[in-house]
Amino acid sequence: MALTENMAFNLIEGAHERKRLAHAFLISGATGSGKRELAARVIAMVNPAEASGGGDLFGGSPDVPCSADLDDLEGEFVRVVRPRSRSRRILIDDIRGLERSMHLAAPSGVWKVGVVVDADRMFDEPANAFLKTLEEPPPGCLLLLLTSNADILLPTIRSRCVEIVLQSSGENQFLEEQESAAFAAILAHSAAKPSAHSALLLKVAFESLLNRRKEGINAANKDSLKQEADAYKQATEGDWLDEREKYYEAMAASEYLAVRSALVDWLISWLGDAVRQKAGSTALSLSQHGEATRKLAEAEDMTGLLARIETLQELRDLLNTNVPENLALEVSFLKAFGSSGAG
C-alpha cells in the first residue's frame, strides 16, 4: 500500500521508539513523492543532534523539521551516495567509501546512516558490493535506498530491505499545466454528468496522456543507452551492450508503470478534494481545480464520492496484476464515471 510521507515517517518512528528499527529501508515513489524529505526526517530522528544540536529542555528529542535538507545532514556519520559519472552510474568507489563509513566506531547513541539516492543506478560490481553490506550490516548502521524504479534493483537487494512505497503528491510534476487543465475539464464533465459515453471519453484522454509519456520515456532511455554506448564501447566486452539494452528496456517499463500509477493517484486526489469540500474542509490537494471539485461536492452525496474513489483505488491495485491494461481501465472508468454514485 502506498503511504504519504507523514504516514511512512510515523511508522518508522514507531519502530524506532520500540527499538525495532530495521537496518535497511527501500523508499520508492514517483518524483516529488517525498523520498529525500523522508530520508532527511529519518536521519534527524535517529541522530537528533546532527539536525538540531541536541535534545530539548526536558532531555527529549526535538520535533524533526519537515524541511530538513538531505545534503545538509551529510557528515562524519551520515554518508550520501548518488550517481555522478557521465552515464549517471553509482560508482564502485562510492559504495566502498560508504561501506567503510558504516564500519567506523561511532559515539554511543549515534547511528551510522548510509543513503543511496537513485539506487537503481547501481549496476554489477557496485550492486554486489552493496549487497555484502546489506547481508552483514555493522551494528548501529541504517541504510536508506531511494528510487523511482524499485523494479530495476536486484531481487536480492530488495529482499533484504523493508520496502516503503510513497504516494505521488497531488501536484504531479509529469502533468504540464495545459495537460492538467484539459484533462481536469474532461474529468469534471464525466463526474458531473455520468454516462458510458463520458466515462469512455475520460478513458481515451487518460490513455492519450499515458501514450505521450510512454513515447518520451522510451526516447529518453534510448538516448541514455546511446550516450553510454558511445562512452564505453571501446572499453567493454561484447555482451555488455546487450545487457545495457535489457537494462534500459526494464527502466523504460518501470518508469511507465510509475507514471501510470501517478496519474491514477491524480484522479484520486481530484475526487478526494470533492470529499474534503463535502466535509467542509478548505485544504485541497489540487487547489487550481477547486471550483470544479466544489461543484461535484454539491451535486454528489458523500457515499457516491467515496464509491468513486474506492473504484479508482481498486483500479490501482488491478493494474499491478496481469489483467490487460485496456480492459482494467475500461471496466473501472465505466464503474466510476458511467453512472451516478459509481453504482
10 Å CB burial of residue 340 (0-12, 13-18, 19+) is middle
The helix or strand, by DSSP H or E, that contains position 257, with its residue range, turns out to be helix 240-278
Q: Which domains does the chain have, with CATH numbers?
A: 5-165 (3.40.50.300), 177-342 (no CATH)
C-alpha cell at 47: 541522530
Q: Tell me what pLDDT residue 149 has.
A: 79
Q: What is the pLDDT of residues 92-136, one digit of tens each?
A: 999 999 999 999 888 888 999 999 999 988 888 899 999 998 998
Q: Which of 65-74, 77-86, 153-162 has the highest mean pLDDT?
A: 153-162
This prediction's pTM? 0.62
Q: Distance (Å, rounded) from C-alpha 61 to C-alpha 178?
A: 45
The helix or strand, by DSSP H or E, that contains position 25, with its residue range, turns out to be strand 24-28
C-alpha cell at 96: 566502498
Q: How confident is the model at residue 342 (pLDDT cuts 50, 70, 90)?
A: very low
Q: Distance (Å, rounded) from C-alpha 339 to C-alpha 341?
A: 6
Percent of the chain exceeding pLDDT 90 equals: 41
Sorted by sequence, the CB contacts under 8 Å of residue 213 that are 6+ apart come out as: 174, 256, 259
Q: What DSSP line would sit under 166-191, residue for residue?
A: BPPPSS-TTS-HHHHHHHHHHHHHHH
Residue 314 has pLDDT above 80, yes or no: yes
Q: What is the pLDDT of residues 36-78, one digit of tens each?
A: 999 999 999 999 864 444 444 334 444 444 445 788 888 889 9
Residue 224 near residue 248, CB atoms below 8 Å: yes
Q: Tell me what pLDDT residue 320 has.
A: 76
